[in-house]
Structure 1
Amino acid sequence: MAHQVDWPARPDLSLALNRMGTFDWDLDSGQMHLDPTALEVYELRPEEYSGTPVGLRLRIPPAEEARIDALVSQALKDGRDRFGAYFRIRRRDGSPRWTHIQGRILRDPAGRPYRIIGIVRDAAHDPREPELRGRQGEGRRRMTGVVERTTAILAHARTVNDVTDVLKDPEALGHLGAVSVMLGVVDGGRIHLVAEGQLGSYVPEIEYTRIDAAFPMSEAVRTLQPVFIASREVFQGRYPLLWPYIEPLSVRSGVYLPLIAQGRPIGALGLLYTREADFSAEERNLLVALGSGIAQSLQRAMLFEQEHDLAEGLQRAMLPRRIPEVPGARIAVRYQAARMGRDIGGDWYDVIPLGGGRVGVMVGDVEGHDTDAAAVMGQLRIVLRAYVTEGHTPGTVLARASAFLRELETERFATCTYAEVDLNTGMVQMVRAGHLDPVVRRGDGSCHRVAVAGGLPLGLLPHEPAGSGDAGDPGTGSGPGSGPAAGQGHGPGNRPGNGLRNGSGHATGAGPGGGPGSGYPVTSMELHPGDTLLMCTDGLIERPGADHDSGLRAFMEAVRDGPADVDGLADALVDLVGDTGGVDDIALLLLRRRGSPAPRGSGPLRQQFVPGDPDGPATARHLIRAAAAAWGAMDQADEIVLAADELITNALVHTDGGGQVSLRLLPERRIRIEVEDTSSALPRRRDAGDWAVSGRGLMLVDRLAADWGVEPRGNGKCVWCEFLVRDPAIRPAGRP
């Protein structure tokens, strides 16, 4: 006899019989309640579920989690009161199954969302194809760039299996056009093939291969260089051991990318294609960037599977692999994870050589202490480095980074201080986004904070609050100064602004470089030889149970009383926190300027030039010749003027606007000429024919100068050349 069911059926029984459960998500506390049926839909036992959305990661793959997170975030941002989506879960036996979620968003009278109540149901037997709807929904929400999309998905990977699941998912890397994706992990002296997706060409015989074997994946790991294979003939000729496995397939080309983390290979990624063609430069750059992102995700997953040093190990993977040697400076950096808890943070530092004796340094902190904060930090640091190396001004760098962070839609903000230091002149340009003011320790041991004019934390619009307030006061002040940096011209015809600047004051104030409306004004100061610039995150200031002022006083005392050597001083400052640790991570960067003060009148000399101005080039030549004489290079003045004239002429002929020529005396008696223009087209040497009327400019510069090159600028480029003054004596101005 059939079991009797009351009529009409109770709502809870109706939901249960149709495999439909309920959830209640408190957005303020982060708690999420699942009823027994919802737990059954997710195939979770009650003791397995943690009571928060994090507990669902046992069943939701990373790619699906990223898509659902983006869906909910967009609904909250758009002010909608409901959402719904199909997604796949991973069943207890490992097989996928379609599920459907539908939620109602509750908001308070001010419109702030505080709770989501909804249902989750088994959608395996839905008459409509949920996969199509899921793919369409994901496609609408993908990030525009290939690297950004893949990185966003991999940022949620917690284990190596999560990474391989993403790579095997046709929707994850299918937009690259690859028919097969292979992932190999370095295991001792061998490469273990841990994933192969899409084509179904897995071969047990090559599951383990030696690093010194004649396979393209082995070569990529061995040489740390990508291997590009443009045709089947290349496969057959270069890799005869692999050819028997490739021959039956429709593969015509491929690429094998080394996965490098912290300077060592941890694996390799292989992509196979049915097309036969050479890889363009754009494709190569894209694939190398993709390999870098996958390497970071793979390493992060490996570290998560290790129980020891989880937080600090992952954080260091996001930081620069090494700090470059910068002539004219001693640099020390330190990172220390918070000892309280095992969550990772978003603190970072970076050092970026800019050429011409300039260097960019930064310290920052992404809000939060979790893997998402670390992932956002990694993306933000790389973006900041890209904007800096493109030549943008400091204010523009932070403005663009802030816009990038908003586009990530992570609901995270970040604080940051960035400084560009000219080690030849000691001039420093600094911008601050809600971060702590930097500190300068003078050569005599005295120290003071530099009041840097500030803007909002990165990722926030002007009307948005920073949340907890730990981002700091953006500030509007200027640093202390001891007088103007007055210029003294050499030779007749000097114009305002064209003098050789010799200011020795600790001058400051919001200067140009932020760009119109950037929101990040630039503060300038001078760093003398022997002075040290210190930048850190607030983990070095804050103490458990102590107020901010007492922590700041202890920090300043340690700076004043610490060793003169930057490494010793960095260790002393980190020791302030001690082994017991603090509540936040620590990132610390110290830069000490080396050398002795530059001779008076060492530059820079600057002169603007515009098309159609008959006096501009002549004035520039006159000033350059006068400066060469003042700097003891009168016998080289003709060569220096000729090289500068060629660079100015190139700028006038090959660009629509004018530009600026500058001249300065560098350490080791080198005269540097820089010509800036607004064109992004890079010059190149050309061999001119016997009767050609152009093409000899850069050939002349190459023969005359000791060195020359091109550097990008935010709105154009800078072509430079340097001359080594042959006579070590500095003659008085005006004497040959």
Structure 2
Amino acid sequence: MADRGASAPSLPEDWPARPDPILALNRMGSFDWDLDTAQFHLDAQAHSILDLDPEEFDGRPESLASRVPPDEARRIDLLVAQSIKDGSENYGTYFRLRRRDGSLGWAHTQGYIRRDRSGRARRIIGILRDATQELSDSRAHAERADQGEALRRQTNVVESTTAALADARTVRDVIDVLKNSHGLVHLGAASLVVGLVEAGRIRLVAEGPEGSFVPGTRVDEPFPMSEVVRTLSPRFIESPEEFAEQYPTLWPYLTDLRVTSAAYLPLVVQGRPIGAMGLLYDDRHGFTAEERNVLVALGGCIAQSLQRAMFYEQDKDLAQGLQQAMLPRSIPDVTGADIAVRYRSASLGRDIGGDWYDLIPLPGGRVGAVIGDVQGHDTHAAAVMGQLRIVLRAYAAEGHTPATVMARASVFLKELDTDRFATCLYAEVDLSTGVVQLVRAGHPDPLLRLAGGGCRRLPVEGGLPLGLSADFDCLEYPVTTVELDAGQTLLLCTDGMIELPGADLDDGIADLQALVGNGPLDVRDLADQLIDAAEARGGDDDVAVLLLQRRGRSARSGSRLRQRVGPADPEALTEARRTIRSAVRAWGVGERSYEIELVADELITNVLMHTEGPAIVTLRVLAGHDRRLRIEVEDSSSALPRRREAGESGVSGRGLLLVDRLADVWGVEARGGGKVVWCEFMVPRRG
């Protein structure tokens, strides 16, 4: 008998239990088995029944192997384990006993399982008696042995079926287990019928062998499944004649199946019928008491599994509805780009998580692409995700820089008063120029699929996850600027696409790069392939994928950048400087890049200092006989700038002098209620 407990510091104060003297008078022994310490105490009478001297037994269950044959020990272990698992209070069984002289005898044991307040089994107290005399008659002995063997076989059927049902998640999974497992074969059933109670009717979910027809019924109709649902009692039909007499309406449907007997069992959970099950036999006449008990036990196991499956399906429907409500209903069409998004739910829990994606149209031909993951796989994670997605979208639509969007979203998550954090990756793409500004908050790096095939990782300097950065007052999110050429594809995904338990993260990223690099050119086909690969690989995490492919032919001479800088947003000014620097150098303007950056910064600063509104800065490379870079800075003030001389101690007044000295040409244009200050630089052609 296997060791069933882990070491514990001490035994219970009342251990071992004191045997009742009446037990000794009736030649019964007692035992006390502490499951925490694995200590097994036998009293003197129990030692005698097992033919053991006290010094021969050290208190460990496995030390009884000299008296209890291995196959009997395994059977008792399974019985005890099943009783503990089922929540039973007691168990009992006969078992073979090998005495000191090698002769075989019989013993009977009965145990009472004691549990703590949480329901965990902590101790088993029971009795042991010699049953050899009870089974001494050879005929009775053989009959009892045969019955015991048959009962053990049927008990094994229940145990194996119960084990198989443990992994069944849906009602269809439960039915497949019952049809495909060896349980029905061992029980000899030729056909299985299962129905669930729904609104006063029994809906059949398993209808016997292929090609057969068994009608569905109302609960109040005179059919065996209806009867067991109404009475909560099993119905055993032991002959065709009995079947035809008791249920003449149903019998004509079963004559072709050559049914000789049937067992109909109510599926009851917590005193309430959830359905019924029928087992139809073509070679059995009648049921013994043991067979009936086994079938009733089997019905109880199946009822629990079906109830669990029904709850799972209800939760899944709720989760899917909530998930769909939280994710964007549709992705808008974006001029200059092909977009594809996909989502795969987790394989565990409620099949709902905090992964999300979003696409945000922005002014000036720009678009914001978001991928994120809220910690957890439950409805709370989905609810947090929905709120975070909405506010992040609002911050981006207000015109804030990517770094500011991420910082404000982190503060919002902290103020939600939740213990969840979120990782996020935000990409602001100017589709006219291909300039992409990337901000990362604890999220995996994006990938870049090249137009001619192949894929590479885009390293993005990152900050802390959303929520944590606000907690630790580290709201600085560095921006990485890259250029997306026509035909290239930006891939954003959550960690479920690259992570598997026990697998190396770098290997997961390498596998994803190979899959993307060799995948279809069309982003929708590529997205389907990626999500199919995630589905085939399995995993316990949900997956979100967003693909953005820039359309058109590459035309670097038409490069363009547009940026908004708020009047009270120093981070936006800093970010604008970084973006302009990255774009100008990416466009290959040569030695004049510093002059262009300096003039653009001066014009933006003038707007912020002398007007009350934001500055809208646009940089573009003009194609023509000469290659020129044009800077336009728009504001809402109609007052025209004037060039003036600054005094020796003056700190202002040199801005337009600087523009006039560095730019090849500049000017001012009225535009609506405001104006645009512009200038142009002759730049070398890109080699």
Asked if TM exceeds 0.5, the reply is: no
Q: Kindly indicate which of the two structures has a greater share of residues assigned to helix.
A: 2
Instruction: Give the structure-1-normalised TM-score.
Output: 0.37
Return the index of the structure with the highest Cα Rg: 2
